């Protein structure tokens, strides 16, 4: 127990009064420095607060596009800042209903029950597009495996459990598919991407529709399924689990060099998920509205079948007319002139016919 | 303070002066005790308010599913059928495993740091361990997902299966993200609490106890095991309960590595789900009333589970530690 006995003596010799004074001075200096820095920050803050601040909340999916677009908007209009909080679509609808924000954003438009609760007329406009790519991890197999809509549904239903299943092998004659169990990866957090993906599965498989359904989160039927949180969670699981398959949001998929499949669309062509193929799917339905918004499984040669819109909610008659006018201005810009910005962050710009639809809805705003 | 006031009172020439001093002191002590009491009542108020708020928020789910919510394994947001059992199971199993592992490692490392390590090394190691407690849980989660999960899938899992595969806990397909990985991450997160508290407790033991033990012919090991440890058991249990509470409520790190599948499987290599994880995953996008209410009821259950566990810990201390 010699160590214990030495303890007190060493305390005195180690840090003598000189050393301690120096340390104390250092700590004091650091604390003063921090205070000064904090003070300058506070002094600088009021200048930023002088601009009108428009507040929005909702979908995390929209965030990369919104933050880029609103940054550009403030560059052009230094007197306006838009503060968008990506708290999730559910949170966005709640905040919007509670009237704490100027606009809300959601991957799925508010339904009739939610609209009644909003307590006033609500306008919903499509604002950007996304899709879900089907990524996989098979040793030795490159990007571009062919998958049909039915095969994807059967994999997610747990009916196809091996990669060398004849149903998959038939679609990929040149590939040496391994005798490997399929691990089905899905999003564990409620998400718009899951909504689009299950919407797709429901429209191609009656069995999926009756057994599972369409939602931002569902009860996943495949016995070998695991959930990852967020796109990064799903991507991480797919990358490290040989034999896995998972759906990942388009922008994330494109930016992270994943191995993903070509999916057969209703017209019979195999297409990669991309900005163009998702836009092609959207263009087939110019009269999109908040009650009829599904664009999965569309039929055209270049249509990517797993696509969907994201929405912005606005009050038809805003409580503060001047703010309302500003919001209308920003949203008009966002739905039209700002759309090319989407491409820079691998989001899909609205096709022109859909921009027109959005504008006509915005026109109703007072 | 008290002494000085008393002597001042005694030295005071006039009785009136002494009285005012004494009453001033009485007021001071009343305020002091009141503040002490108040801060405890504040906690009661917060916990009570929390419970009330949770019950109120969960009332729809309580009414719809009743007590059956506790043992239903359904979790279907589409048909709005909700049950809590897989989440309770996942939470308790991962936390218990984490606690057992962390207690073993934590107590052993604390004994080493306080009793056997060279002083400087002990100080540095102690600092490092305390630093572990300051790592944000999302960092643990991502590290768990990208480093630990592959490790479990390719090395730890197969190793355990080879050695202990006859037990149901180590059978079946080994997923990287599973209950074991979650338990290991939790272990890492709660070890610092146990180590730091235990080490401080041991350091605080008076030197004469060690001297007495050594004088009686005990080896350093016997001293640590038979004298030091028994005298701090109560404190160690307290540290473990604190750590266990953290494990029960840990959200992001477990969410990243547990696989998020609401099923009950004996195998630790299978994915699971915890209460905190499902709340974190689904709360933001839960838009229907019943769905939200069911998630809030899960929060209520977590509170109750924590209460039961901490109560049991206290009971064990009372029964087994004299």
What are the pLDDT digits (tens) for A244-298?
999 999 989 988 889 999 999 999 999 999 999 999 999 998 888 888 899 999 9
CB–CB of B284 and A88 under 8 A?
A: yes
Q: What is the DSSP secondary-structure string of B236-292?
A: HHHHHHHHHHHHHH--HHHHHHS-------S-TTS----HHHHHHHHTTT--SHHHH
- Model pTM? 0.83
| Per-residue model confidence as pLDDT tens for chain B (322 residues) | 444 544 544 444 555 666 666 788 889 899 999 999 999 999 999 999 999 999 999 999 999 999 999 999 999 999 999 999 999 999 999 999 999 999 999 999 999 999 899 989 988 998 898 888 889 999 999 999 999 999 999 999 999 999 998 888 998 888 889 999 999 999 999 999 999 999 999 999 999 999 999 999 999 889 998 899 998 988 999 899 999 999 999 999 999 999 999 999 999 999 999 999 999 999 888 878 899 999 999 999 999 999 998 888 888 888 876 5
More confident of the two residues A36 and A102: A102
CB–CB of A1 and B115 under 8 A?
A: yes
- Report chain A residues whose CB lies below 8 A from the CB of B83: none
pLDDT value of position B18: 62
Rounded to an integer, what distance in angstroms lies between the CA atom of residue B186 and that of residue A134?
32
- Report chain A residues whose CB lies below 8 A from the CB of B117: 3
User: What secondary structure, in 3-state letters, does A42-82 show?
Assistant: HHHHHHHHCCEEEEEEECCCCHHHHHHHHHHHHHHCCCEEE
For residue A339, how far is the Cα from the chain centroid? Answer: 17
Show which residues on chain B lie within 8 Å of chain A, measured between beta carbons.
Answer: 74-79, 115-119, 122, 145-146, 149-150, 153, 173, 175-177, 207, 210-211, 214, 220, 223, 252, 255-256, 259-262, 271, 277, 280-287
Whether A224 has its CB under 8 Å from any CB of chain B: the answer is yes
Rounded to an integer, what distance in angstroms lies between the CA atom of residue B204 and that of residue B114?
10
Helices marked H in chain A: 2-14, 17-49, 63-76, 89-97, 112-118, 149-157, 166-171, 192-204, 206-211, 230-240, 250-255, 275-283, 321-335, 339-344, 352-362
More confident of the two residues A307 and B284: A307
What are the pLDDT digits (tens) for A47-88?
545 578 999 999 888 999 999 999 999 999 999 999 999 888
In the numeric block, which tokens belong to residue A184?
């089905």
Kindly give, in sequence order, each residue whose CB lies less than 8 Å from that of residue B181, ignoring residues fewer than 6 positions away: B144, B148, B149, B152, B257, B258
Whether A9 has its CB under 8 Å from any CB of chain B: the answer is no
Kindly give, in sequence order, each residue whose CB lies less than 8 Å from that of residue B314, ignoring residues fewer than 6 positions away: B241
| A52-58 β-sheet, strand order | A80-85, A52-58, A103-106, A307-315, A122-137, A244-249, A183-187, A225-228
Rounded to an integer, what distance in angstroms lies between the CA atom of residue A315 and that of residue A295?
25
Selected residue of B174, B285, B292 to mutate for chain A interface (largest A Cβ count, 10 A): B285
Q: Considering only alpha carbons, which residue of chain B is nearest residue A89?
A: B285
Q: CA triplet B183, B297, B67: central angle to 5 degrees?
A: 100
Kindly give, in sequence order, each residue whose CB lies less than 8 Å from that of residue A131, ignoring residues fewer than 6 positions away: A196, A249, A250, A273, A277, A278, A281, A304, A306, A307, A308, A348
Q: B284 — phi, psi (to 5°)?
A: -65, -30
pLDDT value of position B25: 84
> Does the structure's ipTM exceed the value 0.90?
no
Whether A218 has its CB under 8 Å from any CB of chain B: the answer is yes
pLDDT value of position B119: 87
Rounded to an integer, what distance in angstroms lies between the CA atom of residue A359 and that of residue B125?
64
Whether A3 has its CB under 8 Å from any CB of chain B: the answer is yes
- HSE, side-chain direction, 13 A CA sphere, residue A113: 3
**Nearest Cβ partner of A114 from B146, B153, B287?**
B287
Q: Going from the N-terminus, what domains does chain A have, and what CATH number goes with each?
A: 9-129+310-362 (3.40.190.10), 131-307 (3.40.190.10)
Q: What are the CA-CA distances from residue A247 to residues A112, A272, A284, B179 (Å)?
A: 29, 13, 23, 23
Q: B88 — phi, psi (to 5°)?
A: -60, -45
Q: A123 — phi, psi (to 5°)?
A: -105, 135
CB–CB of A190 and B211 under 8 A?
A: no
What are the pLDDT digits (tens) for A320-362?
889 999 999 999 999 999 999 999 988 999 999 999 999 999 9
More confident of the two residues A50 and A225: A225
Residue A162 per-residue DSSP state: B
pLDDT band at A12 (very low <50, low <70, confident <90, very high): very low
Question: Looking at CA atoms only, how far is residue B258 from chain A in angstroms?
Answer: 8
Rounded to an integer, what distance in angstroms lies between the CA atom of residue A218 and that of residue B76?
6
* C-beta separation of A358 from A335 below 8 A: yes
pLDDT band at A14 (very low <50, low <70, confident <90, very high): very low
Question: Looking at CA atoms only, how far is residue A302 from chain B in angstroms?
Answer: 31
**Nearest Cβ partner of A6 from B119, B173, B283?**
B119
Handedness of CA B43, B46, B49, B54 (dihedral sign): negative
In the numeric block, which tokens belong to residue A36?
């000064």
* C-beta separation of A108 from A192 below 8 A: yes
Question: Looking at CA atoms only, how far is residue A77 from chain B in angstroms?
Answer: 32
Rounded to an integer, what distance in angstroms lies between the CA atom of residue A108 and that of residue A117?
16
Rounded to an integer, what distance in angstroms lies between the CA atom of residue A162 and that of residue B258?
24
What are the pLDDT digits (tens) for B29-71?
999 999 999 999 999 999 999 999 999 999 999 999 999 999 9
In the numeric block, which tokens belong to residue A348?
């899909």
pLDDT value of position A10: 42
CB–CB of B285 and A214 under 8 A?
A: no
* C-beta separation of A91 from A356 below 8 A: no
| DSSP 3-state of A309 | strand
- Report chain B residues whose CB lies below 8 A from the CB of A231: none
Query: Percent of chain A beyond pLDDT 90?
Result: 65
What are the pLDDT digits (tens) for A100-151?
999 999 989 998 888 988 888 999 999 999 899 999 999 989 999 999 999 9
- Report chain B residues whose CB lies below 8 A from the CB of A213: 78-79
Q: Considering only alpha carbons, which residue of chain A is nearest residue B280?
A: A189
- The pairs formed by A95-98 with CB atoms below 8 angstroms and a separation of 24 or more are A95/A57, A95/A58, A96/A57, A96/A58, A96/A122, A96/A313
Kindly give, in sequence order, each residue whose CB lies less than 8 Å from that of residue A132, ignoring residues fewer than 6 positions away: A193, A196, A197, A200, A247, A248, A249, A250, A273, A306
Rounded to an integer, what distance in angstroms lies between the CA atom of residue A306 and that of residue A298?
9
| Per-residue buried b or exposed e for B274-310, using 16+ beta carbons within 10 Å of the residue's own CB | bbbbbbbbbbbbbbbebbbbbbbbbbbbbbebbeebe
Residue A181 per-residue DSSP state: B
Query: Percent of chain A beyond pLDDT 70?
Result: 92
* C-beta separation of A364 from A318 below 8 A: no
Q: Roughly what angle, to the nearest 10 degrees, separates helices A352-362 and A275-283?
A: 60
More confident of the two residues A6 and A204: A204
In the numeric block, which tokens belong to residue B39?
């801060």
Q: What are the CA-CA distances from residue A118 to residues A106, A112, A308, A311, A314 (Å)?
A: 14, 10, 24, 16, 11
């Amino acid at each position: 127990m010699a160590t214990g006995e030495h303890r007190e003596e060493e305390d005195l010799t180690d840090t003598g009064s000189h050393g301690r004074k120096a340390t104390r001075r250092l700590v004091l200096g650091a604390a003063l420095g921090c205070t000064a820095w904090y003070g300058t920050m506070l002094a600088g803050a009021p200048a930023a607060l002088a601009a009108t601040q428009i507040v929005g909340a909702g979908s995390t999916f929209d965030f990369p596009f919104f933050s880029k677009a609103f940054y550009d908007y403030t560059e052009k209009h230094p007197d306006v800042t838009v503060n968008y909080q990506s708290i999730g679509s559910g949170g966005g609808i709640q905040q919007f209903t509670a009237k704490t924000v100027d606009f809300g954003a959601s991957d799925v438009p508010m339904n009739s029950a939610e609209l009644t609760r909003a307590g006033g007329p609500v306008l919903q406009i499509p604002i950007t597009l996304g899709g879900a790519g089907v990524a996989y991890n098979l040793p030795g197999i490159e990007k571009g495996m062919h998958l049909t809509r039915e095969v994807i549904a059967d994999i997610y239903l747990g009916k196809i459990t091996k990669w060398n299943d004849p149903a998959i092998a038939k679609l990929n004659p040149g590939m040496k598919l391994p005798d490997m169990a399929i691990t089905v990866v899905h999003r564990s957090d409620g998400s718009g991407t899951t909504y689009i993906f299950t919407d797709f599965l429901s429209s191609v498989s009656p069995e999926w529709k009756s057994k599972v359904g369409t939602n931002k989160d569902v009860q996943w039927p495949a016995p070998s399924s695991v959930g990852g949180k967020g796109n990064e969670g799903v991507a991480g699981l797919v990358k490290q689990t040989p034999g896995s398959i998972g759906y990942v949001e388009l922008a994330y998929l494109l930016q992270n060099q994943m191995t993903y499949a070509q999916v057969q669309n209703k017209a019979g062509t195999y297409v990669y998920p991309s900005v163009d193929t998702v836009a092609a799917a959207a263009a087939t339905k110019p009269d999109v509205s908040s009650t009829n918004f599904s664009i999965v499984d569309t039929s055209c040669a270049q249509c990517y079948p797993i696509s969907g819109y994201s929405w912005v909610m606005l009050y038809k008659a805003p409580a503060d007319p001047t703010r309302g006018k500003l919001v209308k201005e920003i949203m008009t810009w966002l739905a039209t002139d700002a759309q090319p910005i989407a491409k820079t962050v691998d989001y899909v710009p609205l096709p022109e016919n859909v921009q027109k639809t959005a504008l006509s809805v915005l026109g109703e705003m007072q | 303070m008290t002494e000085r006031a008393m002597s001042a009172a005694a030295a005071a020439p006039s009785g009136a002066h002494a009285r005012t001093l004494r009453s001033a002191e009485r007021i001071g002590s009343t305020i002091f005790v009141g503040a002490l009491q108040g801060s405890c009542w504040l906690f009661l108020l917060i916990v009570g308010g929390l419970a009330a708020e949770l019950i109120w928020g969960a009332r729809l789910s309580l009414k719809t599913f009743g007590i059956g919510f506790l043992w239903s394994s359904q979790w279907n947001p589409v048909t709005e059928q909700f049950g809590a059992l897989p989440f309770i199971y996942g939470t308790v199993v991962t936390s218990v495993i984490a606690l057992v592992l962390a207690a073993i490692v934590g107590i052993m490392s604390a004994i080493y740091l306080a009793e056997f390590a060279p002083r400087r090394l002990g100080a540095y190691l102690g600092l490092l361990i305390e630093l572990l407690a300051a790592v944000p849980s999302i960092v643990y989660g991502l590290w768990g997902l990208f480093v630990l999960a592959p490790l479990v899938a390719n090395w730890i899992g197969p190793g355990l299966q080879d050695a202990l595969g006859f037990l149901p806990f180590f059978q079946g397909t080994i997923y990287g993200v599973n209950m074991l990985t979650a338990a290991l991450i939790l272990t890492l997160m709660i070890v610092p609490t146990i180590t730091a508290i235990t080490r401080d407790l041991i350091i605080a033991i008076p030197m004469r106890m060690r001297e007495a033990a050594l004088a009686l012919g005990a080896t350093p090991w016997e001293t640590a095991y038979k004298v030091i440890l028994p005298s701090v058991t109560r404190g160690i249990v307290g540290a473990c309960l604190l750590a266990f509470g953290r494990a029960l409520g840990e959200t992001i790190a477990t969410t990243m590595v547990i696989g998020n599948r609401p099923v009950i499987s004996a195998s630790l290599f299978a994915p699971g789900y915890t209460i905190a994880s499902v709340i974190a995953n689904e709360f933001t996008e839960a838009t229907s009333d019943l769905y939200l209410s069911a998630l809030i009821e899960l929060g209520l259950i977590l509170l109750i589970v924590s209460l039961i566990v901490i109560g049991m810990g206290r009971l064990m201390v009372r029964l087994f530690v004299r």
